[in-house]
Amino acid sequence: MDMKRKQPLGIELVKRGIVTEADIAKALDYQKTESKKKIGDILNILKLCDPYVLIDAMGDILGEKAIYLTEGDVKVNILDYVSLDIAQRAKAVPFEVEQGRIKVCFADTSNRRSVETVRLLLLNKGLIMDKYITFETNINVVLSSLQGGSDEIDVNADVSGFLDSVIKSAMEKRASDIHIEPMQNNLRVRYRVDGQLLTAIAIGTEKQAQIIGRLKAISNMYQEKQESQDGRILMYPDYNIRVSSQRNIYGEKFVLRLLKKNEDVRQIFDLGFPSDEKLVKNAFNKKNSITIIAAPTGEGKTTTLYSIIDYLNRPEINITTIEDPVEIRIDGLNQIEVDAKNTFANSLRTVLRQDPDIILVGEVRDTETAEIAMQAGQTGHYVLSTIHTINSIEVITRLRKMGISNYDISSTLATSVSQRLVRRLCKDCAKERDFTEEEKQIINGIGQKYGVKFDLEGKKTYDAVGCKKCNNSGYYNRIGIFEILILNEKIRELIVNNASALEIRNEALKDRIFTVNC
């Protein structure tokens, strides 16, 4: 709270009859063990008077607007205006926006540096800040709902218990990754949920060495080695956790990838793929060919592969997968996990002697794997794989750069699919509204590019709001958007003639064999 006053806050509150001298004595006694806490906050913690009366009186004494902030008072998505890190450091919560002005609660308005940081940040967003004071505990309650589960992390446990609670909390929050990062003044833990990083907790650096040692122990890493390492945590029966370490200027950072072992395979149409049975059969039900799914890391390539395999899986078909690692176990499939000795290329050579009909290769990483996969696709098999590239046309360019000939690409590549994952609005808090004219222009512009006409008359869209279910992000889960290229004779001829990616794209759009679903 702001300390700019003629007399101590406690005396002013006694004069006004808000508290008694005995109450102040209790608060001062409490402050001996909690020296960083201010009298106003302590009076609230000890419940020595009505909190609403107390905060109003404090605001009047300090010459500030005051509010007893609750989660219900927060009418905005906080993270749209300030990052969680800034909100935590400044002990600040934006809670309402109206006509170019934004109301922000602070636990300590005397901290001019923090107040000015938030003010300038909001000014850059075109908003004028109105500052309010509230209790620090109220600020903490609101911010904890954004922290990916810090209230479930046992900070008082020993190092083993602390790490266990971090990992289990991440699982509860549907996190795909955990980042454990040494910073200058603390050790920060963040979860990636629906593609976005959320700060779970930040603790002091005094336990950093112990936490790193425990992580290395359970990940089967070398304790004395501080260079980059890879490991796995096998302590959790439902998860295969891959661990990567990387040294930075403050220590060693760890990223834990959480892979659920027995997760149900999602139907291809549930992923957001076009609801067109004919298109799916034309794109994936093939022989003597290869289909490649393209996307950056973390954009759901493996999930799509599993959905395609599940769609094609029948008792009369022999399907073998080569994966790193096997993420979902599916009855009826022969699933192989690669390791340092059994690479994708080595495993693929062996699989070809196992009479397969369909082969799933987790990733085409190098020329050797690409060449064997192409050969498999030319000898009666249907091969499914993934590759890291930006869109479906660039799959061709990437294969060329790996040394695959234009003839082999044109004769073997049947379909390439590029995909991205986008967050879905939380159904519990999304707010319906009309499309703006600017949004209509953008959508119609996209439709015009791909020869599609959208009828937006009377249609509604939704704004992200934020609630407890979605960690106040406004989003819950993700859905795929897909770009699908099915090669025809004209495209194959262009590839053989070494046409550029732009020429191939123009031809695909012209012949309507290029599909975009969003």
Give 103-171 as a DSSP string: EEEES-TT-HHHHHHHHHHHHTTT-EEEEEE--HHHHHHHHHTTTTSGGGS-TTS-HHHHHHHHHHHHH
Asked if residues 447 and 455 have their Cβ atoms less than 8 Å apart, the reply is: no
Cα–Cα dist 360/343, whole Å: 14
Domains of the chain by start residue, with CATH: 9-143 (3.30.300.160), 145-260 (3.30.450.90), 268-423+478-517 (3.40.50.300)
Nearest to 307 by CA among 261, 255, 271, 259: 271
The predicted structure's pLDDT at residue 180:
96
Q: How far apart are CA 388 and CA 252, in angstroms?
A: 27
Q: Which two tokens stand for residue 409?
A: 């690409």
Strands (E), 226-270: 229-233, 239-248, 251-260
Among the listed residues 151, 140, 42, 58, the one whose alpha carbon sits nearest the alpha carbon of residue 93: 140
From the centroid of its chain, how far is CA 325?
21
d(CA 252, CA 230): 13
Strands 128-133 and 65-66: parallel
Reported pTM: 0.66
Q: How far apart are CA 302 and CA 351, in angstroms?
A: 20
User: Using an 8 Å Cβ cutoff, are 338 and 345 in contact?
Assistant: no
In this predicted model, what pLDDT tens digit does every residue of 192-249 receive, in sequence order?
999 888 888 888 888 899 999 999 999 999 988 888 999 999 888 888 899 999 999 9
How far is 146 from 157, CA to CA, in rounded Å? Answer: 22
Cis bond leading into 325, ω under 30°? Answer: yes
Instruction: Please enumerate in sequence order all residues whose Cβ is within 8 A of that of 290, keeping only pairs 6 or more positions apart, or say none.
Output: 373, 374, 376, 377, 382, 383, 384, 385, 412, 413, 414
Provide the b/e sequence for 201-225 (b: ≥16 CB within 10 Å).
bbbeeeebeebbebbbebbebeeee
Structure tokens at 85: 């890190």
Residues 124, 148, 462, CA angle at the centre, nearest 5°? 60
Structure tokens at 226: 């501080």
Start-to-end CA span in the chain (Å) = 49
Distance, CA of 430 to chain centre? 19
pLDDT of residue 451: 76
* Runs of H (alpha helix) within 16-132: 21-31, 39-45, 51-62, 84-90, 112-123
For 419-464, the three-class secondary structure string (H helix, E strand, C coil) is EEEEEEECCCCCEEEECCHHHHHHHHHHHHHCCCCCCCCCCEEEEC
In a 3-state reduction of DSSP, which class is residue 514?
Answer: strand
**Contact status, residue 200 vs residue 179, Cβ threshold 8 Å:** no
Low-confidence residues of the chain, pLDDT below 50? 1-5, 149-151, 518
Instruction: Return the structure tokens found at 250.
Output: 């403050």
- pLDDT score at 2: 44
Q: Which residue has the tokens 């005051």?
A: 66
pLDDT at position 387? 94
How big is the chain by its Cα radius of gyration, in Å?
29
- For residue 376, the model assigns a pLDDT of 92
DSSP state, residue 258: E
Distance CA 395, CA 389 (A): 6
223: left (phi over 0), alpha (psi -120 to 50) or beta: alpha
* Phi-psi domain of 371 (left: phi exceeds 0; alpha: psi -120 through 50; beta: other): alpha
